[in-house]
Amino acid sequence: MVEEFSLEKTRNIGIIAHIDAGKTTVSERILYYTGKKHKIGEVHEGQAEMDWMTQERERGVTITSAATTVFWTPQGGEKTRINLIDTPGHIDFTAEVQRSLRVLDGGVVVFDGVAGVEPQSETVYHQAEKFKVPLIAFINKMDRMGANFYTDIDSIHERLTTHAYPIQLPIGAESDFKGIIDLFHRKAFIYLDEMGKEIKEEEIPTDLKNQAEKFRHNLIEAIVEHDEKLMSEYLAGQEPEISELKKVLRQLVIQGKMMPILCGSALKNKGVQLLLDAICEYLPSPLEVPPVEGFVPGSEEKQIKHADFKEPLAALAFKIATDPYVGRLCYLRVYSGILKAGSYILNATTKNKERVGRIVQMHANQRQEIQEIRAGDIAAIVGIKNTTTGDTICDPDHPIILESIEFPEPVISVAIEPKSKPDQEKMGLAISKLTEEDPTFKVRTDEETGQTIISGMGELHLEIIVDRLNREFNVNANVGQPRVAYKETIDSLIESEGKYIHQSGGRGQYGHCWLRLEPLERGKGFEFVDEIKGGVIPREYIPAIKKGIIEAMDSGVLAGYPLVDMRVAVYDGSFHEVDSSEAAFKVAASRAVRDGVQRANPILLEPIMKVEVVVPEKFLGEVIGDLNSRRAQVQGTKNRGQIKLIDAFVPLGEMFGYTTALRSVTEGRGSSTMEFSHYAPVPRNIQENIIGNKK
């Protein structure tokens, strides 16, 4: 039986950062110091418990976020239960970060003590901001050669927020990194043993006293500014009680107005206990975050749900995983009420009623059976069939739909061909399981070539999928070269008639509709509008018309890429008492779309990537020249010491092989990162080429 915990003493937190900042290493230390594990597993030795997938262990990279639950009693505080999610840093797995942030109450953003704020840490920081997830910062790797706490702080101020204040300072750096100063209490903690368990508390070293006083002063001034009572004490020359200052800081963190900065070295076992203290001290409990909002299904009526066991159940499914032992696992964050094993629930998104089988608490890929999940908690249910990521699970008598989770569109694709007939069968099943798990993994059939095309967020993402198909699902397949996932859209408004009429003897076919196709803003996807009045087309055929439109949009007229960013309205048509059918209207609508798109100035869209290149100054000219030849729009350059940062937007199609090219131009000293930004029209001449190649 899992201990019951008051909500006040519960934390739901995520660890987020740029790739390789040390998130998993920090998580492993958390498992160790909280006593969940007695031995530390290292990422680079393929032993980290939170990186449990074979592919993660082989590559030393986190791919899927892993959850666990630990207990920690902070200095001078009460035992607290922490639900922790370790997220991946690689941009290809950004969906894992997004879905985690959507259900978490707080986060720790980890920085590399040498590199400071890196592009992906900027991205996750802004995602956290968007989901209103308060953060504390942990500057890790203080033991590494070149680690510099103070330039890291500058980079946080410059790139993320000026409202970030250290509450600790490091003692020494690089191989001399010895301990940590607690600014509030004016204390130094010196780590004596390798495992970081013997800690000596002492005076701040003399040579750091001035520095510590300066930062302490800044911290306190920043805090009292937000509290009138403390401010007047402070102005009267009296320093407020530390407990009072911490209380205000806690509120500021929770409101997203301030980010405390801590430091340490996870690998060398320094600073993690203090980080755990800070998680309990400054990050919110489920009671301290705004209640979740939703609406009553089928209406616009808003509803809020408080973190309260007594309210009706409301929960969000944020992750589906296939477990080799128990089958389909559905991870839930319960916002209100209690979900009990064996009870009946409503999936308000799909309107399905289902019975909850077993409930399990997850620790990486291990499960512990529990009887219920309470408001404010995270756990998984086993054996639920018709629920996917983003669905709301609720009390059948009190339906509510919570805001779903939005995911980015896949930008890269490969053709995949099973080697034999049995492989073909297995592949279909495997792909449908994988698409259930991963909302950024899509599959479609190319109408012209008949090939199966899988798309994802990047080359690594697809490589991992193909590897899983092979090893987990035993599918042997040939895989093509990665290609850009283009899209098609229209550039002008058009009206289009679609007919499917056969009336020669016996029961005929009669479907007839008029559609208006209209371009939508980039990224808006597809909108369907029903403008039929006076029953020119009977109600029951409208869903079939919508289906026909969606089917036709699967494959555009230029080169067979999916059509997006279109509003389609059905505004007229006719029907026949006997001969009309859903099938006939579906075909009519598909025809109207195909014909209309031809005349509506179809254009090809390509993914544009936000690229950051880091190079030593002397290569700047050459690197920019090379970027320009790749149709880049260089946004600007910045200095970081002797190093230059170049920001640019570059079409994905021009970025294949860039890492290698950059390395050869910069004698191996340049590096780059990219992430998807938006879709934009392909220039005419290049469009011709792409279409030509496809054909």
Ligand X SMILES: Nc1nc2c(ncn2[C@@H]2O[C@H](COP(=O)(O)OP(=O)(O)OP(=O)(O)O)[C@@H](O)[C@H]2O)c(=O)[nH]1
- Interface with Mg ion by CB under 5 A: which range of 20-28, 261-269, 285-293, 344-352? 20-28
Selected binder of ligand X within 10, 12, 24, 121 (CB under 6 A): 24
140 binds, among Mg ion, ligand X, none (CB under 5 to 8 A by kind): ligand X
Residue 675 sits in the site that holds ligand X (CB under 6 A)? no
Selected binder of Mg ion within 23, 81, 99, 333 (CB under 5 A): 23
Closest approach of ligand X to the CB of residue 93, in Å: 8
Among residues 88, 180, 106, the alpha carbon closest in space to that of 142 is found at: 180
- Interface with ligand X by CB under 6 A: which range of 23-31, 359-367, 474-482, 578-586? 23-31
Distance CA 191, CA 202 (A): 11
Nearer to ligand X, 134 or 264 (CB): 264
Name the β-bridge partners of 382: 329
Distance CA 569, CA 558 (A): 22
Closest approach of ligand X to the CB of residue 151, in Å: 17
DSSP codes, 466-534: HHHHHHTT---EEE---EE--EEEESS-EEEEEEEEE-SSSS-EEEEEEEEEEE--TT--EEEEE---T
Residue 29 sits in the site that holds Mg ion (CB under 5 A)? no
Residue 55 sits in the site that holds Mg ion (CB under 5 A)? no
Nearer to ligand X, 60 or 172 (CB): 60
Distance CA 381, CA 361 (A): 9
Name the β-bridge partners of 328: 322
Closest approach of Mg ion to the CB of residue 73, in Å: 26
Q: Which residue carries 């920090």 as its tokens?
A: 26
Closest approach of Mg ion to the CB of residue 402, in Å: 28
Question: Cβ distance 240 to 230 under 8 Å?
Answer: yes
Nearer to Mg ion, 21 or 139 (CB): 21
Residue 646 sits in the site that holds ligand X (CB under 6 A)? no
What number of chain residues touch Mg ion (CB under 5 A)?
3
Tokens of 28: 């492993």
Site string for ligand X, 32-61 (x = CB under 6 A): ----------xxx---------------xx
Closest approach of ligand X to the CB of residue 152, in Å: 13
Name the β-bridge partners of 370: 359
Residue 389 sits in the site that holds Mg ion (CB under 5 A)? no
Residue 62 sits in the site that holds ligand X (CB under 6 A)? yes
Residue 265 sits in the site that holds ligand X (CB under 6 A)? yes
Selected binder of Mg ion within 62, 127, 347, 349 (CB under 5 A): 62
Closest approach of ligand X to the CB of residue 147, in Å: 8
Name the β-bridge partners of 634: 648
Distance CA 425, CA 206 (A): 71
Nearer to Mg ion, 24 or 285 (CB): 24
Distance CA 236, CA 533 (A): 74
Closest approach of ligand X to the CB of residue 264, in Å: 7
Name the β-bridge partners of 304: 293
Task: Give me the phi and psi of 232, to 5 degrees please.
Answer: -70, -35
Site string for ligand X, 133-162 (x = CB under 6 A): -------xx-xx------------------
Distance CA 278, CA 187 (A): 16
**On the CB side of 315, how many CA atoms lie within 13 Å of its CA?**
34
Nearer to ligand X, 60 or 312 (CB): 60
Distance CA 399, CA 293 (A): 13
Residue 20 sits in the site that holds ligand X (CB under 6 A)? yes
Q: Of all residues in this chain, which one has the CB nearest to ligand X in the complex?
A: 89
- Interface with Mg ion by CB under 5 A: which range of 56-64, 310-318, 342-350, 370-378? 56-64
Distance CA 226, CA 214 (A): 20
Distance CA 315, CA 347 (A): 10
Summarize as ranges the residues that interact with Mg ion (CB under 5 A). 23-24, 62
Residues near ligand X (CB under 6 A): 17, 19-25, 42-44, 60-62, 88-90, 140-141, 143-144, 265-267
